[in-house]
Amino acid sequence: MTAEIFVVGIGPGREECLTPQARAAIENADCLAGYPLYLDLLPDALKAGKRLVSSGMRHEEERCSLALDAALSGEKTALVCSGDPGIYALAGLTIELMEARGLLDRLNLTVVPGVPALCAAAALLGAPLMHDFACISLSDLLTPIETIRKRLRAAFEADFVCVLYNPRSKGRPLHLAEAIENARMHRAPNTPVGLVRKAFRPGQSVSVHALGQFNPELADMLSIVIIGNSSSRRAGRYMLTPRGYAVSRGTA
């Protein structure tokens, strides 16, 4: 029988956002691998009696390797990611390591999609993503800062709504400030900027700011920042990017 590994997206974190497919993959696993914070997000009942394999930040490769080792040893293994495993998470690295170790035909890989952080944040803000959007990570650990700058420029110039992952950390406190400065060159000062921290987790905070006044220091690594396009606006307490239906043209 071929060994199996599941790379599982648990969504933003709250149990009510965990799909039955993800839950089943975790329940059926002998071994759960993941970043400590993500394993902590799982209900204890789902972890009981399972071997937990963890490793800290920046040890993604070790985490994936340990999960592959567990699967090869015959343990049913679920590698747990928050949000969706295919967006800045471990689905890709798992495939790269399977390839590097000659396991592509020896292991059955199932990627279990989850509710990504960008959708969790958007739902709490209202409807900021109703039109074309670009999703950009501000982390330059694995991407040259010049590439990030180029993509931000292109996204602002083409009027994409911009979703920023990893907006700010101690190691790079200024990337978000620079991105916001860049946005101010292409968007009106009253363009809404949505900031969601710990979406669907204890301590959740949601706020909408005007681009002209937005303070980048409000964001951290647990935040998602969404910068509206030229038609984004506030509607009551919501952040709204009209899709372009008649009603919005009528009220524009």
Among positions 114-133, residues that touch its own copies (CB under 8 A) are 114-116, 119-120, 122-124, 126-133
Q: Which is nearer to its own copies, 5 or 51 (CB)?
A: 5
Residue nearer to its own copies on the CB measure, 58 or 215: 58
* Binding residues for its own copies restricted to 65-124, rule: CB under 8 A: 84-89, 91-100, 104-105, 109, 111-116, 119-120, 122-124
* Shorter beta-carbon distance to its own copies: residue 51 or 235: 235
Q: By C-beta, is 158 or 210 nearer to its own copies?
A: 158
Size of the site for its own copies (CB under 8 A): 84
> How far is the C-alpha of 93 from the C-alpha of 64, rounded, in Å?
7
**Least distance to its own copies, CB of residue 219, Å:** 18
8 A C-beta contact, residue 63 and residue 55: yes
Instruction: List, in sequence order, every beta strand (DSSP E) within the chain.
Output: 3-9, 31-34, 51-54, 77-81, 107-112, 126-127, 133-137, 161-165, 192-197, 205-210, 223-227, 233-235, 238-240
The answer to whether the Cα torsion of 80, 139, 145, 160 is positive or negative is positive
Break the chain down into helix, strand, coil percent, rounded to 5: 35, 25, 40
Q: In this structure, what token pair is assigned to residue 33? A: 């691998």
Distance CA 175, CA 167 (A): 7
Distance CA 11, CA 119 (A): 10
59 contacts its own copies (rule: CB under 8 A): no
Which parts of 231-250 interact with its own copies (CB under 8 A)? Answer: 235-238, 240-248, 250
Q: How far from chain centre, in Å, is Cα 224?
A: 8
Smallest distance, its own copies to C-beta of residue 22, A: 9
| 15-44 binders of its own copies (CB under 8 A) | 15-21, 24
Output the smallest distance, CB 105 to its own copies, in A. 7
Minimum distance from residue 150 beta carbon to its own copies (Å): 5
For the CB of residue 120, give the shortest distance to its own copies in the complex, in Å.
Answer: 5
Residue ranges in 197-226 that form contacts with its own copies under rule CB under 8 A: none
| Binding characters for its own copies, 132-171, by CB under 8 A (x = yes) | xxxxxx----xx---xx-xx-xxx-xxxx-----------
In the numeric block, the tokens 């979406």 are attached to 199
Give the nearer residue to its own copies in terms of CB position, either 183 or 217.
183
Q: How far is the CB of 170 from its own copies (least distance, A)?
A: 21
Quick check: 32 and 26 in contact, CB under 8 A?
A: yes
The SS3 call for residue 135 is strand
Q: At closest approach, how far in Å is the CB of 125 from its own copies?
A: 9
Q: What angle do CA 129, 91, 102 make, to 5 degrees?
A: 155
